[in-house]
Structure 1
């Protein structure tokens, strides 16, 4: 049984965005294909592109095509950004990328708990995250936003360490919820509990191998995983 001291302490739940809260794979794959094509390079497979979602763009492109020079990586990254902006205008962008079923209800349940703060740690740039939050009216849920703009790529723990610093939560009272091995590795590096979701872009076997403490198969399982993580049961 958790002590009342532990139960009353501030808690932090940090969420990945792509593949966890919103299903943006169509936009990501299309932009990556266009980015490689515009740079005169063969596009990676869909599976390969989804395998690197969550990494910052330069790291992702270098992993997809390890033979590229730094200048070629920069060119693909720039073409990807241009393609994403174009696709956002043509398709509605993040507004056309649906929330996973149950996501909003789960966030609403957490928002009603006074001792719980929430945040985002994403490989998106702040501009892209802002579009996603605005498109789905999610901004009010989160007290800390960590993006690829000012941090090393996942799985470096910098985003989570900054989230802890901004909110005042302790690592032992914080969780990271994500769909990729990069999220799991980042959480463990920051001393936080790693909660993996299986509806995103990395398979369960990969998530477990990366050190997930808990694995959930639907948003309705989040509350129980949090209770275990926070010593509430």
Structure 2
């Protein structure tokens, strides 16, 4: 069996909320815009430029993206922690001689920096992919399952032909994940190992 399991990064494998919100708030404040945690939290997981465009004129967005990215390694990365069960999820995949993969909307150098920070070592890392765009690496690497907290993750899994597994550690609830295509939903990655055992031994748990 060639088992490849893909994961989203932010709020699926790692708790990056504080760092992302801090960098977003600083970037926006330098341009005269105040944004609350409550405004920014639901946006985590979507492309940075799209999120900044909700607060800034289009002509300011490219410079704001560069500003955000310049501060991210020093400000956000040290604030990022692995979510409970993330390391165990990778270990469960490798017990079946499988390969963990990370596919994120985040700028790829930042993906590597975050993974190094939390000491997660996937076999495959892809950045700058969101929504249906995640289907390209999912298909290319023949992922069996794709795990994510965001509606875009479920859309990418469906489009890429992987089994869409939602986790409830991000801003979207079970109803939204299922509406976007999730066939199963677990509360977090602590549940992933038992779910994977069930999935590989019989009909998918729902």
User: How far apart are 1:134 and its partner, in Å?
Assistant: 1.3
TM-score by length of 1: 0.78
User: How far apart are 1:225 and its partner, in Å?
Assistant: 3.4
Selected match of 1:147 from 102, 111, 127:
127
Number of the residue aligned with 1:55: 46
- TM-superposition CA deviations, 1:65-105 (whole Å, max 9, x none): 3xx43212223222222332442xxxxx4343221112212
Shift of the 229–47 alpha-carbon distance from structure 1 to 2, 3 Å rule, reads: farther
Number of the residue aligned with 2:100: 118
Structure 2 Cα separation of the partners of residues 229 and 71 of structure 1: 48
Structure 2 Cα separation of the partners of residues 94 and 86 of structure 1: 6
- Are 1:10 and 2:6 matched, yes or no? no
Selected match of 1:104 from 71, 87, 91:
87
- TM-superposition CA deviations, 1:164-203 (whole Å, max 9, x none): 32x3x2x6xx111111111111111222211111122222
1:195 partner SS: strand
Shift of the 192–231 alpha-carbon distance from structure 1 to 2, 3 Å rule, reads: farther
Selected match of 2:18 from 21, 26, 29:
26
Which consecutive unaligned segments of at least 5 residues does structure 2 have?
none
Q: Between Structure 1 and Structure 2, how many residues are aligned?
A: 203
Which consecutive unaligned segments of at least 5 residues does structure 1 have?
1-8, 88-92
Structure 2 Cα separation of the partners of residues 221 and 73 of structure 1: 39
User: How far apart are 1:163 and its partner, in Å?
Assistant: 4.0
Structure 2 Cα separation of the partners of residues 184 and 108 of structure 1: 23
Q: Larger radius of gyration, structure 1 or 2?
A: 1
Selected match of 1:70 from 58, 66, 91:
58
Shift of the 33–96 alpha-carbon distance from structure 1 to 2, 3 Å rule, reads: closer
Shift of the 106–94 alpha-carbon distance from structure 1 to 2, 3 Å rule, reads: same
